[in-house]
Amino acid sequence: MKEEVYLIDGMTCAACALTVEKAVKKLAATETANVNLTTEKLRVTYQENALTSDDITKAVSEAGYQAHLYLSEVEQDLPKRQDEKSKKLWQQFLWSSLFTIPLLYISMGSMLGLPLPAIISPMQAPKNFALIQLLLSLPVLYLNRSYYQSGFKSLFKGHPNMDSLVALATTFAFIYSLFATKQILSGMAHYQHSLYFESAVVILTLITLGNFFENKSKSRTSQAIQKLLALKSNEVRVIRGDQQELIELSQVQLGDQVMVKPGEKIPVDGQVLSGQSYVDESMLTGESVPNEKKVGESVYTGTINGQGNLILKVTKRQEETFLAQIIQLVENAQSSKAPIAKIADQVSGIFVPIVIVLALITLLFWLLVMKEGMTFSLSTAIAVLVIACPCALGLATPTAIMVGSGRAAELGILFKSGQDLEQLQAVKTIVFDKTGTITQGQPQVSQIINLDPNEKDLLAEVASLEAMSEHPLGQAIVAKAKAEKLVLTPVQDFKTITGQGLAGKIKNQEFLVGNKALMESHQVTLSQQLLEQVATLPEQGTIVYLAKNKELKALILIEDQVKLDSQKTIQELHKSGIKTVLLTGDNQRTAQAIANQVGIDQVYAEVMPDQKAQMIESLKGKEGLVAMVGDGINDAPALASADLGIAVGSGTDIAIESANILLMHPQLLDLVTAMSLSRKTIHIIKENLFWAFFYNVLMIPVAMGILHLFGGPLLNPMLAGLAMSLSSISVVLNALRLKKVIL
């Protein structure tokens, strides 16, 4: 399967987005096709050998739109495109206003008691009165011709959109006004009351103004991406021979040597070849204290170099850097479609045709049944066409998802998709890994009980074995040995025994290092006295057993301190009615002690790594929607098995691959923030959908003249156009509240 993203030009409403989706889904090899109206992107998954990019762009073109293969936000420069579009719309509005304002004055002046020269007075010169309005309206129609190009093209292809409603409404108003002008020129001056040139041009001008404000508001929803892009450097100082050369970032190659001076942004992902400095990595970790970087250590794009000079070797292409991956994740989340959007999609697919039918019914009802005459009937039908707003429906979900995921990114929380953002607020059970999630993930040796006073080198021997392992408990023992400046010894026949520990030979002596189960499986005797001694040790610590030639020699107590915010996090989750579970490979005694300390409801201890995913699957069947929270390093299968995988404080490739949500900072309370943001985003979406539906359900009957039937007011087409524009803008502005909401 291959996934590609395309920029779509020409979309104006939800009906457009649905049309593009349907056109691409008709292609035989298409697996999925999702269009996001806010970002104007199409995301397609298809069978690579059976379909090409040209096939996709052709299908979109035949549907009446243009598709361009999208590379990344870096290359495409979304803010620049949005600024250009806003500038174009503003100029279009200003030029339209230049003709609309005098036209409105001339057409409405006599009714409002405003002075008009006799040469264009409706009473004294009705022919001039009609002709001047015709001449003033033509430039406005030309300036706003895009509505007709898009609207009629879509209408003739059988999938009318928002522009179709605008095009039909203003065309009917203009054509009827042309007919009235002909009658006036023929001597029938009373047709001056049937001129609707001002309705056509005011509708076009107001809708253009509405589109301008809508586009400006939408551009604010992409500020999270803009802030991330601002972390990148444009130029890089590359070392070529004995010379330093300043080149563009795009020209940097893998393996290049890059010089970074004090205070500069680090422009690449790389490895320190020479120099030493402290680097501000707060954009990645949230930690305000700079990290020391020495030879051999990794640095990342967008971080800030401190006081030292660094020479780096480039280890990642620009599209593969950690910052690029973050940008890609945010883009994916903002352009993806949440399941709740299906409601709007289903309505949008039939909305515009229904509105056209309702406008026709309105025209015929007032003309034939109520005998109101063509002028009144046409005005009412035009109001129906103009006031209907599928745009509000189409923008309701994607704007909130875009702002919500963007706000999350600013807080160091990365959602992979809109679906993940929607699902998080529905989670009923959260399963936590212990090490590095509930605890700090930096275990330390707190006590060594030497059972054989004649053995002086036990710590060095056990550290020699543990040096062969990547296990964090083992690394704590190695760190202890190094701190005491002990010399490690070569190990022979080393092997890892899954879920139990290590085995190996040192100077032909057999060693076992691990848990109680390892001792029992190798028939190492554990005396009653020993077991009593074990019982006196702190519960939250982990006991490592050391046996030499199948004789127990030492106990090593390793403790990993609980994170400062773990207890507060669990308390907040309980307030939301969420069940908490601890899932760990550690022993029952230690796991239960940690759970009791922070308030976790249920404990599953001594679970093998390969059993964690199975345990998650079993919980999913009986505990509702289940999320798994881990560091994304050694619990990737469990993260992938959960309904939602959440990686804490990890920027590893494995975490990015296996988790649905990344908490970039080590603070566990960010999980509570993520859940709060998820709830508020879905609340905003539901508000938007409600008001979009409510607006259309309420205003369309008003435009049809229901109130007028009972002596109430009739909606003017110009006011209808203003109301339609305001409804779209209000949806976007409501979504933007997420940028300032207190979490």
**Spacing of C-alpha 207 from chain mean position:** 29
3-state SS class at 562: strand
CB atoms under 10 Å from CB of 167, counted, come to: 26
Token pair in block for residue 65:
């739109």
Are 184 and 130 spatial neighbours (Cβ–Cβ below 8 Å)?
A: yes
Token pair in block for residue 97:
């206003």
9 is catalytic: no
CB atoms under 10 Å from CB of 191, counted, come to: 20
Give ∠ CA 215-221-226 in degrees, rounded to 5.
105
CB atoms under 10 Å from CB of 483, counted, come to: 10
The DSSP call for residue 439 is B
Q: In 3D, which of 356, 378, 353 has the Cα closest to residue 367?
A: 378
With tokens 């700090």, the residue in question is 440
Sheet containing strand 602-604, edge to edge, reads 413-415, 661-663, 644-648, 626-630, 429-432, 579-583, 602-604
Residues 6+ apart with CB under 8 A from 142: none
Token pair in block for residue 581:
């579970």
197-220 vs 390-410: helix axis angle to the nearest 10?
A: 20
Residues 6+ apart with CB under 8 A from 58: none
Point out the catalytic residue in the list 280, 345, 420, 433.
Answer: 433
With tokens 């015929």, the residue in question is 364
Are 240 and 269 spatial neighbours (Cβ–Cβ below 8 Å)?
A: no
Are 421 and 738 spatial neighbours (Cβ–Cβ below 8 Å)?
A: no
Residues 6+ apart with CB under 8 A from 427: 578, 624, 625, 626, 627, 643, 644, 675
Q: In 3D, which of 27, 732, 55 has the Cα closest to residue 402?
A: 732
With tokens 């903002």, the residue in question is 334
Give ∠ CA 711-712-713 in degrees, rounded to 5.
130
Instruction: Catalogue the active-site residues.
Output: 433
